[in-house]
Amino acid sequence: MRWSEKVGRRVPHWTVLMLLTGWMLVPGEIPASLKPRPLLIFPFQPVALGPGEQWMGEGVAQSLTQAFAQHPAFIQVDRSRLRRLGTPELWGEPAVLSAARSLKADVALFGEIRRSDGELTVRPRYLEVRSGGGEAFGLEPKAIPESGGLLETLPGLSLAYFRALKVTLTEGEAARVAKAAKPTASPRAFEMFVRGQLAALRGTQEGNEAAADLIARAVEMDPGFAAAQYFLGRIHLALGNRWKAAAQFRASIQLDPAFPEPYKSLGDLFLTNPRRLFDQAIEAYQKAVELRPYYAEAYVGLGDARAAKGDTDGAIAQYKKALLHNQANPKVHLSLGKIYYGEKGLYYEAVTSYKKAIELDPQFLDAMMGLGEVYEEKGLYQEAIGEYQRVVELDPKHTGALYNLALVFEKVDPKVAILHWERYIAIASQLPSEKDWVDVARQHLRKLRGQIEKGQ
């Protein structure tokens, strides 16, 4: 039994490191002439700020993330991918250009918050990535008022960026952008929210627990803070509490019925529910795309839900809609790879989709695993081994890759397979979720050792 059979249909989902992408309704169809541009948002660098003010740089990034989700002119590159590149001392122009090129962004937003002579100023910049390099531009610095603080500056900053990037907003769009950029009227609630995001970015159990406490405090300070309610649900999900997560998602929807993200997250919960709530998942995803017609992640969810119901053609149609709105989304290509091979038996199409997912995100472990399993099933064992080993290089404790490596080495080198089974058992035996598979691994190990002893 391979890794994919152990975990079942793996539904693409946001990890807690995936930051919010907006919560307001953008009605109407996307203009056919509009070609969305990949956008990467960096935390602004704090310059000469005290320890209690360092969070503001991330606060600007959070605000811009929400604001730019309100318009289909941009596809935001997942910031969790930025963390994988490492964090330089300063996100200055050279580091921003290098990261933007690595992650295939066309535009990068960055800048600094500086305290000088007692005055606090935000100095926004952006970078246009060119084929031969990049060109950086500066916007007018904005003073942060003492009354209201950073929150009062954020809506105007977002609108200034749209103007600089030559995106014309209607009056309604400008209002939505401004509202998204300032998600709460409480400066303290916003600070707790941002501190929670920073804690979650650590990617650890301790970080998630700290994030849950901080964002819960933000909700206490402003019970109407819909984004904080939603993100608290994401944290609870990362901590393994599905019931609390669902309650927070529903709370955010009650506060803001035009907020698409909690509908999408509810769809994910329904889809992965042991009770097979596929129809409820479809309903939730459909509501998300009704609210945001260019919501590629929700179309992926719709495709996964239809695939789970056996509607292969319907699933592919939804994945293609996702690609229409975001061709750079590696999760769409992952889902297409799964369905092309698993349901359609289309080897070349599946391999192409998996490779495209990896090209878009060179650290996309699920895509490497999927590609390895296709190779393995076709008898291309060395190619399969190569993919599994890439996964282990990136994540030495990836039990799925270790398990699959042991299985495929049984076919080409049983002695090496023994080493991989031993390594898998040493790591997986510490995880309660792997208990049954550790028992299976031990059976394989005993069998191989017996065969080798007989052969001697």
Question: For residue 117, what pLDDT is reported?
Answer: 83
> 17 or 420, which is more confident?
420
What CA–CA distance (Å, rounded) separates 44 from 124?
A: 8
Averaged pLDDT for residues 300-316: 94
Question: What's the pLDDT tens digit per position in 179-188?
Answer: 999 999 999 9
CA triple 329-331-336, angle to 5 deg: 110
Question: What's the pLDDT tens digit per position in 373-401?
Answer: 999 999 999 999 999 999 999 999 999 99
Averaged pLDDT for residues 314-319: 93
What CA–CA distance (Å, rounded) separates 8 from 3?
A: 8
What CA–CA distance (Å, rounded) separates 231 from 251?
A: 11
Question: For residue 219, what pLDDT is reported?
Answer: 98
Which of the four pLDDT bands, split at 50, 70 and 90, describes residue 54? Answer: very high
Which of the four pLDDT bands, split at 50, 70 and 90, describes residue 18? Answer: very low
* Whether residue 141 has pLDDT greater than 50: yes
Residues 158 and 178: beta-carbon distance below 8 Å: yes
Question: What's the pLDDT tens digit per position in 159-178?
Answer: 999 999 999 999 999 999 99
* Whether residue 23 has pLDDT greater than 80: no
Averaged pLDDT for residues 295-309: 94
Burial per residue of 417-446, b for 16 or more beta-carbon CB atoms within 10 angstroms, e otherwise: bbebbebbbebbeeeeebeebbeebeebbe
Averaged pLDDT for residues 99-105: 90
Averaged pLDDT for residues 75-100: 81
* Percentage of the chain exceeding pLDDT 90: 74
Question: For residue 311, what pLDDT is reported?
Answer: 94
Determine which of 1-5, 405-409, 419-423 has the lowest per-residue pLDDT on average.
Answer: 1-5
Instruction: Report the mean per-residue pLDDT for the chain.
Output: 89
Nearest to 14 by CA among 196, 200, 192, 194: 200
Residue 385 φ/ψ, nearest 5 degrees: -60, -40
* Whether residue 31 has pLDDT greater than 60: no
* Whether residue 30 has pLDDT greater than 70: no
* Whether residue 201 has pLDDT greater than 90: no
Question: What's the pLDDT tens digit per position in 225-256?
Answer: 999 999 999 999 999 999 999 999 999 999 99
* Whether residue 98 has pLDDT greater than 60: yes
Question: What are the structural domains of the chain?
Answer: 3-10+311-455 (1.25.40.10), 24-182 (3.40.50.10070)
Question: What's the pLDDT tens digit per position in 425-435?
Answer: 999 999 888 98
* Whether residue 28 has pLDDT greater than 80: no
Which of the four pLDDT bands, split at 50, 70 and 90, describes residue 135? Answer: very high
Question: For residue 284, what pLDDT is reported?
Answer: 98
